[in-house]
Copies of this chain bind each other. A is one copy, B any other.
């Protein structure tokens, strides 16, 4: 808990913002105004936030289908994201990408990804670029527990070790891949699987932003020092269904209730900083109000924003195409 006051406020603010954003998207989905489906990050906020507090715009992250939280933590514009999800021309991808393809290269956000396991090679490439240019930047490859089984993950672990790439494999284990439990689908042990490649690997409580922040700090330092990759196995709860329309019957109501009461990163944070007198209750309440207003505003703006011009349907396929 060696975080400065400013950092503490940022951590809480970002986690709260993600939470409100996701729960609002879930609500707006039922309005029918958002196309397709979304995979929401509610419950997992401390992971992206604890990691991203170490990162600047030069550092890059490659994300998953569940990418809103990673994007917000990496500094993507919330209005642009909401407008994108609402499929507006003011969206961060001008309405072409949607929830599963949020990206902002200037912020080092290399994209959410609709392909499970798709991100890790891309993050390795960003890390390679950092290494070759000597920029000192690192890259983060996010994956879920289910995605960790993909061959691309194993290949990326090997490549990252062989080339000593400054990449952090952030494996967010929310216990499920869709309706399938990681306890069944993931053979062996994720930390051991990382370590077997000679990669420093550790398990982290993903409801505790301080724990994530510390582990990520070691990983980022390793990367910046030229010591190569790290794997973090981050244990998180997934509050909502796999996707917005998931009836989520494979989890018992008790299980879902318990996770909200016992594994809430916002509560965990409050319980640490308030008794210790690091922050005041009303500061946090003010943040809650602020992010609620921010998200409200983003929805209002998105609804008011113009829809994409059908004439743009085939633009931006190439930089140039004679």
Residues of A within 8 A of B (CB): 149-155, 157-158, 161-162, 184-189, 192-193, 195-199
- The answer to whether A184 and B162 have CB atoms under 8 Å apart is yes
CA distance A133 to B169 in the complex (A): 40
Which of A157, A158, A198 is packed against the most chain B CB atoms within 10 Å? A158
Other A-B contacts than A161-B188, A188-B195, 11 sampled, CB-CB below 8 A, are A149-B154, A151-B151, A153-B154, A158-B185, A162-B187, A187-B197, A188-B197, A188-B199, A192-B192, A193-B193, A193-B196
By a CB distance below 8 angstroms, the chain B residues around A199 are: 187-188
Instruction: Return A124 CB to nearest CB of chain B, in Å.
Output: 13
CA distance A152 to B152 in the complex (A): 9
CA distance A186 to B185 in the complex (A): 25
- The answer to whether B196 and A157 have CB atoms under 8 Å apart is no
Q: Which residue on B lies nearest to A189, using beta carbons?
A: B196
With A154-B151, A157-B187, A185-B162 in contact, is A196–B195 under 8 Å at CB?
yes
- The answer to whether B161 and A155 have CB atoms under 8 Å apart is no
CA distance A197 to B149 in the complex (A): 10
CA distance A155 to B146 in the complex (A): 11
A-B contact pairs, 14 of them (CB 8 A): A151-B151, A151-B154, A158-B185, A161-B187, A162-B185, A162-B187, A187-B198, A188-B195, A188-B197, A188-B199, A192-B195, A192-B196, A193-B193, A195-B196
